[in-house]
Amino acid sequence: MLRWAVPSTYPPPAASVAHISRDTQLINIRRTQPYDVTLDDLALVVDSDVFPPDLGFTSRYLSQTLAQYQPKALLDMGCGTGYLALVSKKRGAPVVWALDVHEPAVACSRKNAERNGLTNVRVEQSDLFSAVDPGVKFDLIVFNQPYYPSTHEVIFGLGFDGGREIIERFMSEVPEYLAEGGALIMPFSDMAGPEHNPEPIVTSYGYTSREVFRTHDGTFTHMIYEFKKA
């Protein structure tokens, strides 16, 4: 999961019960790391200070959604443990990249690739697209972006602004790396509040939007968006 600097004077938003509960979960999970988990028949280690793909269901919803696609070249942006990149390679994607700015996540992804015999995944430490070779294009980019604001501290890449700054930077850079007709896949849960929905940001850059996944857990609605250049 990608990270960014938050000024010490930046005021967090009014804390909601759901956000405080999730932050407590995250803090408790970090105390248990490293640990092992199996997702989609992948044996994953979740190393210390690496975003846990088994938290909630967003990562698994993304994996389920990616199964609808047959990309030639896929990029997992903010890869964390490498789960989405590795499951895509396991399903037969010819070219798969996994990028994260956080060195422990990069090391964890490489470890998980080797553990699962999927060493033909390119894993790089990268500030967004900084490590991508010139001219490389992806027809599918999945970005499990931070989408709800932290109420306690910057943890696992979740800051106080609900991901707005990193999404804006991502959208300013992505045209150079998205193939003609390619798609962006990004999640959202209304637990975060409508002001943190990535859809208005992405569509403001001239992309069309459609929901490719939606579910309701009895309290909150969770969705996955597909964005394409209009």
User: Range of 174's domain?
Assistant: 17-48+57-229
Does a structural domain hold residue 2?
Answer: no
CATH number at residue 201: 3.40.50.150
What are the φ and ψ backbone dihedral angles of 215, each rounded to 5 degrees?
-150, 160
Q: Angle at Cα 184 formed by Cα 120 and Cα 105, nearest 5°?
A: 45
What is residue 58's predicted lDDT score, i.e. its pLDDT?
A: 92
For the chain, the average pLDDT equals 87
Q: Is residue 77 part of a domain?
A: yes
pLDDT for position 161: 54
Classify residue 1: in a domain, yes or no.
no
- Residue 12 maps to a domain: no
Residue-wise pLDDT for 148-157, tens only, equals 766 565 555 5
| pLDDT at residue 149, rounded to an integer | 63
The predicted-structure confidence for 87-138, as pLDDT tens digits, reads as follows 999 999 999 999 999 999 999 999 999 999 998 999 999 999 999 998 999 9
Kindly report which listed range (54-58, 167-171, 224-228) carries the lowest average pLDDT score: 54-58
